[in-house]
Structure 1
Amino acid sequence: MSIDFSLAKCQDRSNSKLFGICDDPPPAKTKAYLNETDGAKWIAVVDNEYRYDVVFTAIDHCIEVPARPDGKSSKRCDGMLTYNKTVIFVELKTRPQLGTDWIKEAERQLKTTIAHFETTELAEEFTDKKAYAANSEHPKAKESYLVRIEKFFEDTGYVLRIENRIVLS
């Protein structure tokens, strides 16, 4: 099954200097979305200093992804940002818990989505490939995650950042 990662109904656009990516709290089953005005809702903050025309594509609860071999639905990340030759996959969390369980879960969701994306022709359009695990309760990763970040790159070819501020360059 070919996955269409460019469904118009799943996309929002922004060229604002600063905007956020939001995902309503569980058990809501709605897609993630961009928001330019209500910073209290932002899980990830996008710093778009150069005012790129950015497309956000909601993936979870919007893009159909094939089920796992056991028939259960695949875990996938919340969405992706695209501009110029850059693609950034984003998993949003709002968990205050200690430890790295939220990071492990985010990594799995990002890796699954990236694996599906890399089988599409659309993936060939991007040369700068990144992934963000963004948690509003843990805004910046510790340096101790360096091994995890290197392993993620080895597995996917994507640079992983564990922080909730996405700076577009």
Structure 2
Amino acid sequence: MTNPDWWQTPQIREAMAKLEEAEVGLDQTIADAKQMERQLPQTGLSQQDVEQIEAHARSKDAPRELRELQERVDRGDLSWNDIAAGRFMDDPQVRSALENGVEGMRQAYSMIQEGHELDDIIEPGGPPIATDAPPREPRPSRPGGDPEDDDYFGGSIMKRD
């Protein structure tokens, strides 16, 4: 009987040994990653977080898209934990409902950059979220940057007496 490995040249045997070594290393890396994953705390929304989101989504102040998304959650089509985990982000209705929150985060970021204190942003419930109304164009400031014309979400923060 002939040797079944007759065709393996020294270069092929060396390459196969390196491949096997790499496979063992890959298996060890996968096992290490799974162990690390088990040790990481589970993240996600708490029951209180979900209740707050649902309360807001059901409120009259919530944008129509968010209320409609809450109806889907109520039907069991998806959950707020699914959305928080990034699932359903390819769903146009989910994306549309969350765009208002993104705008609020942009406004909060701008306020932080302008030097507002975090407590001043958070205390009143965060920056206003967009509604079904189209966005307003900012008013042009007066020449010379007159502080009397500071624009704060469509209204002056400096009052003239």
The TM-score by the shorter chain falls in which range? under 0.3
Q: Compare the two structures and name the one with the higher helix fraction.
A: 2
TM-score for the superposition, normalised by structure 2: 0.22
TM-score for the superposition, normalised by structure 1: 0.21
Higher relative contact order (CA 8 A, sep 6+): 1
Larger Rg: 2
Q: Compare the two structures and name the one with the higher strand fraction.
A: 1
